[in-house]
Amino acid sequence: MKAEITSLLQQAIQSLQSDGVLPADVSPNIQIDRTRDKSHGDFACNIAMMLAKPAKMKPRDIAVKIVTILPDSPVVEKVEIAGPGFINFFITANAQTMVVPAILEAGDRYGRSDLGKGKRVQVEFVSANPTGPLHVGHGRGAAYGATVADLLAAVGFDVHREYYVNDAGRQMDILATSVWLRYLGLCGVELDYPGEQDFPSNGYKGDYVWDIAATLHRENADAMQKSWAEISDGLPDDEPAGGDKELHIDALINKAKTLLRDDQYRLVFDLGLNYILDDIRDDLEHFGVTYDEWYSERSLADSGAVMKALERLQASGHTYEKGGAIWFKSSDFGDEKDRVLVRDNGQTTYFASDIAYHMHKMERGFERVIDIWGADHHGYVPRVKAALEALGDDPKKLDVLLVQFAILYRSGEKVQMSTRSGSFVTLRQLRKEVGNDAARFFYVMRKSEQHLDFDLDLAMSQSNDNPMYYIQYAHARVCSVFRQLEEKGLSHDAQNGLAELGQLDTSHEQALFTNLGKYPEVLENAAINHEPHQLVHYLRDLANDFHTYYNAHQFLVEDVAVRDARLSLNQAVRQVLANGLKLLGVSAPESM
């Protein structure tokens, strides 16, 4: 519809240009907007105002000239000039109804497009360290990332979903060491810290660590047992004893590595890693979030990719040595300061891996790379882009989307997020409490860069306060109408329904036609701008229009023409609601 009007305007403007009425050297960007107010027609164009300056004419005069030579079209009922120079288009009733057969024919493909033209896009999201179960903060990234990926796929991009597994860093060593220490506990070895303390203050203390340790103990009995005397020998004090907790945990890690030697340590390490990774994978799968690839950070180092990245950076001349460390001169590319790549102890930093990772993303030929990070990582963006630029890649190909925190509320009170306290923090617990549908829905209901107040009571409430139920209810109502139809021994002649759509001329039906027609535009906007919340709001609007319609008119009426037509409209509404909910990862129930 938009394209049709755009083409009409193009023809008019071109002929005005060749007649010399309008300057030929301006190539106007014709913009068609849907009107907010029905009295302004269905579509409005502001082109006359845009052309006023270059043409040195009054906007309304230009509008008059355009409108008088505008070619006729079967879809345009009338054209009006209004306000400062808007050209308003009124669509014919017949053209309005055409959206219904279009929807029914396309079915679950309605709204999809080839806007992306099959361009390869990578979406990397969640990528939480495998050191513990996912918490509710990760949940937002998961729901958001999955929906953005699905939206991009829906508008024709070739989407690759990826989870970057940080299986190489110090955090993983801390996990492995924590598991081993818990295992020692199961072997009956007491960690004889001074005072009340019984575990390193920087260790992972969650219950899942005990679970992993139990597996370790079951499979290896006491084979990895060492005495506390061996372990504590030469160990610097932990924080409660007046020492430095970082030094303490690092020394413990080294102890574990030397006492267990490489093969045993690796066993503990991999057991912890795989246990947690399986848990995360399972959690996400139940949440409707799946990946094409789980990309291992360790594999980057193993394959030499990190070294390759460092060499390329060095070759580009943007590195230098200072204080025994190797630095990247990221300040040359707009970062606020330079960053360390290789520490004075010879170890590469996480940043070095990340450069290698992003370099490899580019090498894999993605035309666009989207990283979804927590907003607390925003300071990290400039240095990654700097690295890409230094490597000769185009930093504009990388789009980093930042997701703000989600704050849970229960009975109007903020839920405290402490790992120790009993209040739930994991994604799994949230899913269990409010259900997958509500969790997916509420997570993407707000703009991603907006702090999210996640109201648990609202997510679980079965009332019109809850926008998800409101939308699902609209879908269930349509299904119910068709059930009733059957119970009454009637049937729906779809052919006749489409033929009789002209019967539908109430304001409620008109509103539905318009809104149904908007769906493809909403999808495109939501996808291109990475804003799933646009789809949420649209579906709420559509549901609202339907509920209004439902209350204002009886569908199962005596008049067969009207009944069939209304049922066809019902089908179209159901289809669009189902398509939209599917993209959000939310179910479309047939009854509630």
Partner RNA sequence: GUCCCGGUAGCUCAGUUGGAUAGAGCAACUGCCUUCUAAGCAGUGGGCCGGGGGUUCGAAUCCUCCCCGGGGCGCCA
Taking the least distance from each CB to RNA, the nearer of 212 and 452 is 452
Identified binder of RNA from the candidate list 169, 236, 240, 243, rule CB under 7 A:
169
Instruction: Output the smallest distance, CB 50 to RNA, in A.
Output: 6
Does residue 86 touch RNA according to CB under 7 A? yes
Pairing state of beta strands 325-328 and 339-342? antiparallel
Asked if 99 and 520 count as a contact pair (C-beta separation under 8 A), the reply is: no
Task: Specify the residue for token string 């008109």.
Answer: 510
Tokens 């005596």 belong to residue: 558
Give the gyration radius of the chain's Cα atoms: 31
We find the least distance from the C-beta atom of residue 554 to RNA, in angstroms, to be 4
464 binds RNA (CB under 7 A): yes
Helix, strand or coil, per DSSP, at residue 167: coil
Instruction: Tell whether residue 502 is a contact of RNA (CB under 7 A).
Output: no
> Binding of RNA at residue 486 (CB under 7 A)?
no
Which positions from 326 through 385 interact with RNA, judged by CB under 7 A?
A: 336, 339-340, 343-345, 347, 349-351, 375-380
Residues 15-74 that bind RNA (CB under 7 A): 31, 33-37, 39-41, 44, 46, 49-50, 52-53, 59
- Give the amino acid at 357: Y
- When asked if residue 550 is in the footprint of RNA (CB under 7 A), the reply is yes
The 10 Å Cβ neighbour count of residue 137 is 20
Residue closer to RNA (CB basis): 29 or 188: 29
Among the candidate windows 435-443, 477-485, 499-507, 573-581, which touches RNA by CB under 7 A?
477-485
Cβ at position 108, least distance to RNA in Å: 21
443 neighbors 140 (Cβ within 8 angstroms): yes
Contacting RNA within 112-151 (CB under 7 A): 129
Nearer to RNA, 193 or 351 (CB): 351
Pairing of strands 86-91, 76-82: antiparallel
Four-point Cα dihedral 353, 355, 358, 360, nearest 10: -70
- 159 closest CA partner among 447, 370, 402: 370
CB 155 within 8 A of CB 523: yes
Q: At what angle do helices 560-584 and 136-154 cross, to 10 degrees?
A: 130
Q: What are phi and psi of 399, to 5 degrees?
A: -120, 115
Q: Which of 421, 484, 491, 507 binds RNA (CB under 7 A)?
A: 484
Angstrom distances, CA of residue 533 to CA of 388, 443, 449, 509 = 31, 9, 11, 25
506 lies in the binding site for RNA (CB under 7 A): no
Shortest gap between Cβ of 190 and RNA (angstroms)? 29
Place of tokens 């006729």: 72
Decide whether 184 or 252 has the Cβ nearer to RNA: 252
293-312 residues near RNA, rule: CB under 7 A? 297
> Looking at beta carbons only, is 196 or 463 nearer to RNA?
463
Is 529 a binding residue for RNA by CB under 7 A? The answer is yes
d(CA 211, CA 414): 30
- Burial-class residue 464 by CB neighbours within 10 Å (0-12, 13-18, 19+): exposed
Q: Taking the complex as a whole, how short is the minimal distance between the CB of residue 529 and RNA, in angstroms?
A: 3
**Does 322 contact RNA by CB under 7 A?**
yes
Nearer to RNA (CB atom), residue 246 or residue 332 = 246
Kindly tell me which residue out of 282, 285, 394, 449 binds RNA, with binding defined by CB under 7 A: 449
- Beta strand residue intervals within 85-244, DSSP E: 86-91, 120-124, 158-165
List 33's β-bridge partners, or say none.
Answer: 44
Site string for RNA, 193-232 (x = CB under 7 A): ----------------------------------------
Q: Which is nearer to RNA, 8 or 184 (CB)?
A: 8
Which residues inside 231-260 make contact with RNA, applying CB under 7 A?
246
Reference 140, options 371, 399, 405; nearest CA is 405
Q: Cβ closer to RNA: 220 or 299?
A: 299
Asked whether position 559 contacts RNA by CB under 7 A, the answer is no
CB of 189 to RNA, least distance (A): 27
CA distance 137 to 398: 23
Q: Which stretch binds RNA (CB under 7 A): 61-69, 182-190, 208-216, 442-450?
A: 442-450
Residue in 293, 470, 493, 561 binding RNA, rule: CB under 7 A: 470
CA-to-CA separations, 477 to 161, 221, 504, 549, 592, in angstroms, rounded: 35, 59, 19, 12, 9
Please work out the total of residues on this chain that contact RNA, with binding judged by CB under 7 A: 94
Candidate residues 547, 562, 582, 587; the one interacting with RNA per rule CB under 7 A: 547
